[in-house]
Amino acid sequence: MLHIVNKSPFDKNSLESCLSCAQDGSAVLLYEDGVYGAIKGSAYAERLQSAMSNITVYALEPDVKARGIADKVIDGIKLVDYNGFVELTAEKEAVNSWL
Amino acid sequence: MSSVIKQFLYVNRKAPYGTVYALESLEVVLIGAAFEQDVRLLFMDDGVFQITKGQDTADIGMKNFSPTYGALGDYDVKYMYVCKQSLEERGLTVDDLLDLKWEDEDEDWAEKDSIILVDREEMKSLMTDADVVLSF
């Protein structure tokens, strides 16, 4: 399954709920304000990094660049463009959108 | 124009782009400044993301409005307070923020930093001291 999250983890609990429900082997894509969850050294980084041992985390690069955090993304998070987003949705059996 | 000058504090708590709050706040800040009021900004919570440097919105089809914060000094907006704790929680330091300046007329137009880091105690006084608080 592909989980997609577009809310900042500092503002909403969407990412937290998502991570607590994500099966091992599933993927999480951070986009729009969700990309703030990808910042290295933040109060949320450790939580996400520990989840990354069982799930693959992606971040939408155009949203990362728009927010000025391109040089702060946690190592191991894969950046994708819009085509990559489409490919992920096509590749996974289902998409769960955490609004 | 009225000669009454009030102190306006604009409290910015939302990230840019994901919602329209940040841009709307900036519009209202410019209106307040155009009426020659004492306009001050406070960035807290995800609002600190409004003034990160290096924003490049070319690929999301939205206008990058972050350069406008740099023009506020020309509108006599001198004080942009930033919540220290909000920055730290988000893995940011003041070096990750735009270099915002204003020019001091009384000191031969010397450039001064607009950004002032504040803690929660100082934020309480800022809100208490303002005549008008507008929260976005």
- In this structure, what CATH number is given to the domain that contains residue A76? 3.40.1260.10
Instruction: Give the pLDDT band of residue B12 (cuts 50, 70, 90).
Output: very high
- In this structure, what CATH number is given to the domain that contains residue B64? 3.40.1260.10
Q: Residue A3: its pLDDT value, please?
A: 98
Residue B20: which domain range? 7-135
Residue B2 domain flag: no
Collect all residues of chain A within an 8 Å Cβ-Cβ radius of residue B18: 6-8, 32-33
Q: Work out how many domains chain B is built from and give that number.
A: 1
Q: Whose structure tokens read 């919105």?
A: B57
String of DSSP letters for A7-41: S-TTT-SHHHHHHHHPPTT-EEEE-GGGGGGGBTT
Q: Is it the case that residue A86 has pLDDT exceeding 80?
A: yes
**Alpha carbon distance, N-terminus to C-terminus of chain A:** 16
Q: Which of B60, B62, B65, B93 to mutate to test the interface with A (most CBs of A within 10 A)?
A: B60
Q: Which of B19, B53, B57 sits opposite A66 (nearest CB)?
A: B57
Residue B13 domain flag: yes
pLDDT digits (tens, 9 = 90+) for A19-56: 999 999 999 999 999 999 999 999 999 999 999 999 99
Residue of chain B minimizing CA distance to A12? B46
Return the H-helix or E-strand segment holding B101: strand B101-104
Query: What ipTM score was computed for the predicted complex, to two decimals?
Result: 0.93
Q: Which of A36, A40, A61 sits opposite B49 (nearest CB)?
A: A36
Q: Residue B2: its pLDDT value, please?
A: 60
Q: Work out how many domains chain A is built from and give that number.
A: 1
Q: Residue B1: its pLDDT value, please?
A: 55
Residue B71 domain flag: yes
Residue B28 domain flag: yes
Q: Residue A10: its pLDDT value, please?
A: 98
Q: pTM of the entire structure?
A: 0.94
Residue B87 domain flag: yes
Residue B70 domain flag: yes
Residue B1 domain flag: no
Q: How far does the CA of residue B109 sit from the closest CA of chain A (Å)? A: 30
pLDDT digits (tens, 9 = 90+) for A76-85: 999 999 999 9
Q: Residue B39: its pLDDT value, please?
A: 97
Residue A31: count of CB within 10 angstroms of its CB: 21
A 61-80 residues with CB below 8 A of B?
A: 61-63, 65-72
pLDDT digits (tens, 9 = 90+) for B64-116: 999 999 999 999 999 999 999 999 999 999 999 999 999 999 999 999 999 99
Residue A84: which domain range? 2-98
Instruction: Give the pLDDT band of residue B3 (cuts 50, 70, 90).
Output: confident
